[in-house]
Amino acid sequence: MEKFWVIFATSIFILLPFTCNSFSLETPTDRRVLVLLDDFAIKSSHSSYFNSLRSRGFDLDFKLADDPKVALQRYGQYLYDALILFCPSVERFGGSIDVAAIINFVDSGHDLIIAADVNASDLIREVATECGVDFDEDPSAMVIDHTGYAVSETEGDHTLIVSADFIKSDVILGSKKITAPVLFQGIGHSLNPVNSLVLKVLSASPSAYSANPKSKLSTPPLLTGSAIALVSVIQARNNARILISGSLSMFSNRFFRSGVQKSGSSTKHEKSGNEQFLTEISKWVFHERGHLKAVNVKHHKVGETDEPALYRINDELVYSVEIYEWSGESWEPYVADDVQVQFYMMSPYVLKTLSNDHKGLYSASFKVPDVYGVFQFKVEYQKLGYTSLSLAKQIPVRPYRHNEYERFMPTAYPYYGAAFSTMAGFFIFSFVHLYNK
Amino acid sequence: MAPPEASSAAFPNRYASNALRHAFGDVLSYFILLLIGVLAFSIRIFSVIKYESVIHEFDPYFNYRVTKFLTKQGIYEFWNWFDDRTWYPLGRVIGGTVYPGLTLTAGTIWWLLNSLNIPLSVETVCVFTAPIFSALASWATYLLTKEVKGAGAGLTSAFLLAMVPSYISRSVAGSYDNEAVAIFALIFTFGLYIKTLNTGSLFYATLNALAYFYMVCSWGGYTFIINLIPMHVLLCVVTGRYSSRLYIAYAPLVVLGTLLAASVPVVGFNAVMTSEHFASFLVFIIIHVVAFVYYIKGILSPKMFKVAVTLVVSVGLAVCCAMIAVLIALVASSPTKGWSGRSLSLLDPTYASKYIPIIASVSEHQPPTWPSYFMDINVLAFLVPAGIIACFLPLSDASSFAVLYIATSAYFSGVMVRLMLVLAPAACITSGIALSEAFDVFTRSIKFQLPGVLSNAEVDVGETSSAVVEAQNVAGKTDKPEETSKDRPSRKKKKERVHEEKPSTKAKAEKKRLLALPLAASVISLLLLVFLGAFYVRHCVWAAAEVYSAPSVVLSYRSHGRLHIFDDFREAYAWLRHNTDVNDKVASWWDYGYQTTAMANRTVIVDNNTWNNTHIATVGTAMSSPERAAWEIFHSLDVKYVFVIFGGLIGYPSDDINKFLWMVRIGGGLFPHIKEADYLRDGSYRIDSKATPTMLNCLMYKLSYYRFVETDGKAFDKVRQTEIGKKYFKLTHFEEVFTTHHWMVRIYKLKPPKNRIRGKTKKSKPVQFSLFCSKNNSDVHLQVDFNLLMLWQKTSSRNSSRSGAQKKNPWH
């Protein structure tokens, strides 16, 4: 008996890390991260970034991109929760990884960080295109900005640029304002404006353009101005998050530490905004922020507590749902005043804003419309930076039963009167007719 | 051969012999009626013997589902049943939109049997309800025809009705549809009306109203009764045959019948508000006016009466004109003139095809072809004219009703194939009268022409003709004399008078001797008539066994001595039942809605109760749209699975591709961006290489022919007898999840929306075509001729009003 307990306890201790650390709905933050590199020098040259990840509890696994033993999954189970591709020049991944494998990795709900660079390989470009980001097709093009470049000792070709054009979202970039601009050196990309899933987090200044800095500009550049995205994020429909950056060097220790001064500006920042910007955005990508969950969807008639199988038209009902946000360690109540519920049958018949009690419980009370059919309680909550909530719960609404109508209506009294007076009249008539001789 | 022996034994006492003959005649006719009932029942269980005890076709599955609900939940739950599994997301109030007669009947039978500890399943009861009621219907025919022309004609008609193919087609075991009980109710109501007309008894008038109530409960065809009876009453009044019996037969029926009809939820206020019922009220007023006039005539002197008439007529005419003007204005203000679409298409046969594609699309709403008359009523078609003539010799109230019935039903059957069912009883009644009269004449001729004593002749007749003929003869003769007398007292008195009049028949017979036909002619004609009857019986048995017994959910075909069974429908429904979530929504063309809810227990978008034209048009539009648009429409309706019926592999002709033009028409009726012309090349409908691009890219084409080329390498469609136009294509928004053994049902799943949206960079990817190896499957090469199976029917019980507003697809 004792032996059994020992085995049981040890097996729990062995299995515990696996059960706890894997990505799950309960703890959405990633734990195990695979980092694919072009060569191991990046590991040391970008160590600040990796250390910040490690210090937040991530388990980084460094591999060379063309390592033949590298694999994302084994026996149908994914080995990692997230993937960082710091390998812009790789032509072929080693092992079983290819574009389809990476896309499947994302489609099964895992996160991805891609850093491209000048002369990024077709492989990396293809992965980016699958995610909705189009890098400049010219392989040697870089983002050049002759007015917004970073001041440095040597007058370069103005490819090291400065940008402070961030997306305005506290969820993605954290509540603390990024004061220093970000240094960037790499390639730009464009986004399809109809693509609603991809967001431009850092865009170039209006004077920037994308071209080969070494050759003369013969034709007007295809990508110009603030249409150039430098860093973009994508939240897929299954809430997998992707970060795509056109520069690998912006993650490097050198960029993290160096001071920054924008050309034509007198203010010189001691430290560039790269570290804050990239750390905050990695928190978002790895679901430490902006991840919502909705639980305990309930509805019942006013004055009752049990959930009925169907409602009758004109019933009064209460709908409630609890919404929480993941803070990195625990689920905190989510507070917002723009969550709405629809009572929906082909179109919303009722659209009501839910009121919350600041403890995560959202509720609304409304009257079922005077229409029967199969309705749905729908909550479609899509807010910038947050994972999308889309709840639908089917509920039929029936008409009145035959004995639920009003029995004696005042408007019908003339008819009752007519019926009864006719009956009385007929009785009297028959009586007179039969006995009057 | 009981009667001849008896009559010869009782020969010495003539009076006693007559009484005995009566007794034996009655016993014999009851015995024959019993046999007719057995015949009617047993001819209809071919389907159970040849196939199995299953519910047939489409509507019966709905009725079966409703009956199951009724037996499980009780009548109040049934009355208030809101079904959320059909017409998603609108739902359907079953209790208020269904004719409950059939369901309640079967439910009662089931409850009765169970309380007697006979544990039959609901399905068994449902399967055998129709045969039981056809036995009852043939007895009702006996009652009706007996009132018209005597017991002989009654027996003949009952016999004819027991096996008329038209009625068999709707009442084989398993064909659990409204018509199965409604035809009984129809005949019974008419029978009771004639009975009341003949007797003038209030008792029968009340029974008549109750029978009418049962008919209203059972079938929408009750409007036929409530129009035909007023027509007959009007006819009687116009031809000066008004009598108090007519009043008693009609007035209580209208008052009680309307009250009862209004208490059926599905009819409700329609009983007083729609044009179908106006005729009865108008005649109700007329008969009161006439009754009043007759009453006044009785108390006034002729001169005074004339003065009163001129006074009343001049005033009354003015009032009437005003009334009619108001009425016409009221009716004309409604868009359909107060008539439902289906009734309008009865009056104007081209109405439906012009305005309501959903009515025109149903095969049984098409006008019939001539062969279908021969198929469905066979030799009766030739006997009917003779029967009409017989009805005029002499014309009584009752026989004029028979003539009116056959005339109107013949018209209606010419408009819609389905109403052949109403014609069949009328044809049986008139043909029965004709046959019976003919037998009467011929046997009488033989009796008088034969040399020898009269009494011997009777024995001879008994020996030469069959027992049936003899019984008819006897029964016919006994009722003959008083049928001719116009004014009939009550039934009891009649019976007495029969006996009093009996001795005088001999004198009458002497007179009739002069009208007798030659012996040889009579014998030959008799033989020919028997031959005709035999031909009819043979045809009916063949029709019952071969044509009308197929349940249409299971198809069978015999080729090269082997029997092939195509059980694809149930295979597909079973797949849906076992492999999909219980709340998943399944879309298909509406023909298969009832079966999907009943057999697969999944929610459907549209079904055979075609009450909402917009919803059906939406599904039609989706089927006629390209893949992406179709996906959007289906997705907005929460559809998870879509299935199509495809017959191209085995040659099953009533598949969705053949119905597709109707989907285009119905969809295009509401969403004008779907145009029929886009699907036709030079006015002809084709799916081969000359088909239009719209056709080749629509969802129906793609779902039907996806991977079809893998079967034989050529993609040869056996129904259309051509190779298809586009053989290699991929589906982007749908994925095939199941295809049945003979490819008759193909189920597809809607792909979820894409997880990511791709960038716009185009990539030149080499187009890959996989080479398909042709597989030699023995079933693939079956060339099946389904012509007989084409005789299937679809029913839709209610029609929808055509919405006037032309909108674009609301889901865009």
Span B316-328, pLDDT tens digits: 889 989 999 988 8
What are the φ and ψ backbone dihedral angles of B747, each rounded to 5 degrees?
-105, 130
Helix segments in B637-761, DSSP class H: 656-670, 693-697, 699-705, 709-712
pLDDT at B508: 55
pLDDT at A370: 93
Q: Which residues of A touch B77 (CB under 8 A)?
A: none
Q: Do B756 and A132 touch (CB under 8 A)?
A: yes
Instruction: For chain A, give the percent of residues with pLDDT over 90.
Output: 32
B112 Cβ neighbours under 8 A, 6+ residues apart: none
How many beta carbons lie within 10 A of that of residue A426, not counting itself? 10
Give yes or no for residue B617 having a pLDDT over 70: yes
Contact assessment for residue B495 and residue B405, using Cβ atoms and an 8 Å cutoff: no
Least Cα separation, residue B619 to chain A (angstroms): 14
> Is the N-terminal amide bond of A17 cis, ω within 30° of 0?
no
pLDDT at B803: 30
Q: Do A374 and B88 touch (CB under 8 A)?
A: yes
Q: How many contacts, defined by CB atoms under 8 Å, are there between A and B?
A: 81
Facing residue for A401 by CB, picked from B80, B753, B756? B80
Q: Do A346 and B89 touch (CB under 8 A)?
A: yes
Q: Which residues of A touch B88 (CB under 8 A)?
A: 374
Facing residue for A396 by CB, picked from B91, B637, B759? B91
Facing residue for A129 by CB, picked from B90, B95, B759? B759
pLDDT at B7: 41
User: How far is B383 from A38, CA to CA, in rounded Å?
Assistant: 97
Q: Which residues of B touch A137 (CB under 8 A)?
A: 761
Most confident of A33-42, B33-42, B416-425, B612-621: B33-42
Q: Do A396 and B754 touch (CB under 8 A)?
A: no
Quickly state the pLDDT bin for B550 (edges 50, 70, 90): confident
Question: What would the pLDDT profile of B182-201 be if each residue is shown by its tens digit?
Answer: 999 999 999 999 999 999 99
The token pair that represents B379 in the structure block: 């030799």
Q: Of A404-418, B261-275, B463-477, where does mean pLDDT reach its minimum?
A: B463-477
Q: Which residues of B touch A106 (CB under 8 A)?
A: 755-756
Q: Do A402 and B80 touch (CB under 8 A)?
A: yes
Q: Do B753 and A237 touch (CB under 8 A)?
A: yes
What are the φ and ψ backbone dihedral angles of B684, each rounded to 5 degrees?
-115, 145
The sign one gets for the Cα dihedral B120, B123, B126, B128 is: negative
Question: What would the pLDDT profile of B743-774 be if each residue is shown by its tens digit?
Answer: 999 999 999 888 888 877 554 443 333 333 33
For chain B, list residues whose CB is within 8 angstroms of any CB belonging to chain A. Answer: 76, 79-80, 82, 84, 88-91, 93, 95, 265, 583, 636-637, 753-761, 763, 810
Closest residue in B to A135 (Cα) is B761
Quickly state the pLDDT bin for A121 (edges 50, 70, 90): confident
DSSP symbol at A149:
B
Flag whether residue A234 sits within 8 Å of chain B, measured between CB atoms. yes
Q: Do B82 and A399 touch (CB under 8 A)?
A: yes
**Between B787 and B595, where is the model more confident?**
B595
pLDDT at A26: 66
Concatenated DSSP letters for A393-423?
EEEEEE---TTSS-SS-GGGHHHHHHHHHHH
Across residues B257-268, what is the average pLDDT?
A: 92
Strand-strand pairing, A209-211 and A142-144: antiparallel
Quickly state the pLDDT bin for B796 (edges 50, 70, 90): very low
Q: Which residues of A touch B581 (CB under 8 A)?
A: none
Q: Do A130 and B759 touch (CB under 8 A)?
A: yes
Q: Do A134 and B756 touch (CB under 8 A)?
A: no
Q: Do B756 and A130 touch (CB under 8 A)?
A: yes
Give yes or no for residue B427 having a pLDDT over 90: yes
Q: Do B755 and A134 touch (CB under 8 A)?
A: no
Beta bridge partners of A393: A377
Q: Do A396 and B753 touch (CB under 8 A)?
A: no
DSSP symbol at A29:
S
What is the value of pTM for the model shown?
A: 0.81
Across residues A63-75, what is the average pLDDT?
A: 87
Question: What would the pLDDT profile of B84-115 be if each residue is shown by its tens digit?
Answer: 888 988 889 888 889 999 999 999 999 999 99
Least Cα separation, residue A423 to chain B (angstroms): 15
pLDDT at A97: 87
Q: Do A130 and B754 touch (CB under 8 A)?
A: no
Q: Which residues of A touch B76 (CB under 8 A)?
A: 402
Between positions 49 and 68 of A, the ones with CB within 8 A of B are none
Closest residue in B to A376 (Cα) is B89
Report chain A's mean pLDDT, rounded to a whole number: 86
Question: What would the pLDDT profile of B461-497 be if each residue is shown by its tens digit?
Answer: 444 444 444 444 444 444 434 343 334 444 444 444 4
**Cα–Cα distances in angstroms (integers) from residue B693 to residues A152, B656, B678, B701, B714, in the given order:** 63, 19, 8, 11, 20
Three-state secondary structure readout of B256-313: HHHHHHHCCCCCCCHHHHCHHHHHHHHHHHHHHHHHHHHHHHHHCCHHHHHHHHHHHH
Flag whether residue A315 sits within 8 Å of chain B, measured between CB atoms. no
Between positions 395 and 414 of A, the ones with CB within 8 A of B are 396, 398-399, 401-402
Give yes or no for residue B128 having a pLDDT over 90: yes
**Cα–Cα distances in angstroms (integers) from residue A210 to residues A122, A198, A202, in the given order:** 18, 20, 15
pLDDT at A416: 92
Three-state secondary structure readout of B317-367: HHHHHHHHHHHHHHHHHCCCCCCCHHHHHHHCCCHHHHHCHHHHCCHHHCC
ipTM: 0.82
Across residues B211-234, what is the average pLDDT?
A: 93
Question: What would the pLDDT profile of B721-735 be if each residue is shown by its tens digit?
Answer: 888 888 899 999 999
B542 Cβ neighbours under 8 A, 6+ residues apart: none
Facing residue for B757 by CB, picked from A195, A374, A398? A195
Residue with tokens 């804050």: A276
